[in-house]
């Protein structure tokens, strides 16, 4: 396949779609559920104290505001709140970002007419600087990886829950109508968040990361996964101590809400077997959209993105 020439490895890893659909999740650590439920209770006890500033900007029927709110560990989380310029607010969405962070909201989502959209930046990334945490993916992903209970990804899941609290603090009428969107980094983070937080009613994850960690450690990748692989060679114990608690495929097996996944057949950054392990582990109502490639530019990309956006409009119709 021609696209492989851009890398010194095959970003499809030799898997066919049929094989990808058979990939299992790893075994669940004994206290996986207890760990995350305790973290959720802790996060829900924190008042988000939203602080909003009108940026005086309107685009595609969205008024754009700057927002900051509180999360665990005294983290101040920044982002954008977008509200319809006209019409009623009937649903709310918390929307994550990839490991490159976020510099502005997404204006091409099919929810602009009736939804409150909260685009958060997880701690340490973009608008949410955090003490001693690098915003560079290859360092961020390693922060406290040697401390299973304090690994940075735990805080990022909590930031996602805090974002839900923030939306509900501002718009109590949205209770029961909250959706979650995540891509790559925030796909994996979002999967863990959605698995345990009953306030989230539907979710979509695009090329989600952190699925099937044992497999992920052994499939050559670029980006943050390569950084974890390098660290693992020197500290193999993280594979048993830390990573099982931050496995989106294991979390997926706890999800009870309808979930839509876009997974790629080829992806140099988030290995497809990990993405499909997440989809396959879901025991809830689920829908799969197969992308030709992830984290790459390719011929049919615009076409596939348009179809995906259309499908998401339908999927969240009844939120």
**Digit-coded pLDDT (tens) for 11-54:** 999 999 999 999 999 999 999 999 999 999 999 999 999 999 99
Half-sphere exposure of 277 (CA within 13 A, CB side): 24
Which H or E run includes 79?
strand 76-84
Query: What's the CA dihedral at 60, 61, 66, 71 to 10 degrees?
Result: -100
CATH number corresponding to 2-315 = 3.40.50.1820
Pick the range with the lowest mean pLDDT from 6-10, 71-75, 87-91, 217-221: 6-10
Which H or E run includes 236?
none
Give the pLDDT confidence of 129-180 residue by residue, as tens digits.
Answer: 999 999 999 999 999 999 999 999 999 999 999 999 999 999 999 999 999 9
Backbone φ and ψ for 286, nearest 5 degrees, come out as -140, 155
Does residue 197 contact residue 161 with C-beta atoms inside 8 Å? Answer: yes
Whether pTM > 0.95 for this model: the answer is yes
Q: What are the distances in angstroms from CA 139 to CA 46, 82, 160, 171, 223?
A: 28, 30, 21, 36, 10
């Amino acid at each position: 396949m021609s696209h492989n020439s851009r890398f010194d490895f095959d970003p499809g890893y030799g898997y066919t779609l049929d094989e990808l659909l058979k990939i299992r999740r790893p075994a669940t650590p004994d206290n996986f559920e207890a760990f995350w439920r305790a973290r959720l209770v802790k996060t829900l006890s924190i008042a988000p104290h939203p602080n909003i500033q009108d940026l005086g900007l309107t685009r595609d029927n969205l008024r754009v505001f700057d927002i900051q709110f509180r999360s665990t560990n005294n983290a101040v989380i920044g982002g954008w709140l977008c509200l319809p310029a006209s019409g009623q607010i009937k649903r709310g969405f918390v929307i994550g970002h990839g490991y490159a962070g976020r510099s502005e909201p997404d204006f091409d989502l099919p929810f602009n007419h009736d939804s409150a959209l909260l685009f958060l930046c997880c701690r340490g990334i973009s608008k949410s600087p955090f003490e001693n945490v690098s915003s560079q993916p290859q360092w961020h992903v390693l922060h406290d990886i040697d401390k299973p209970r304090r690994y940075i990804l735990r805080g990022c899941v909590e930031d996602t829950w805090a974002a839900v609290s923030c939306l509900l603090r501002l718009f109590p009428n949205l209770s029961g109508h909250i959706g979650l969107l995540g891509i790559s980094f925030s796909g994996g983070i979002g999967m863990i968040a959605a698995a345990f937080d009953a306030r989230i009613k539907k979710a979509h994850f695009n090329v989600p990361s952190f699925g099937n960690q044992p497999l992920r450690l052994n499939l050559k990748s670029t980006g943050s996964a390569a950084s974890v692989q390098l660290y693992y060679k020197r500290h193999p114990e993280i594979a048993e101590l830390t990573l099982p608690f931050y496995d989106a495929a294991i979390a997926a097996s706890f999800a009870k809400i309808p979930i839509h996944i876009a997974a790629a057949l080829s992806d140099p950054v988030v290995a497809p077997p990990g993405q499909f392990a997440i989809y396959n582990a879901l025991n809830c109502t689920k829908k799969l959209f197969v992308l030709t490639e992830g984290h790459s530019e390719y011929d049919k990309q615009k076409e596939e993105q348009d179809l995906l956006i259309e499908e998401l409009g339908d999927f969240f119709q009844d939120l």
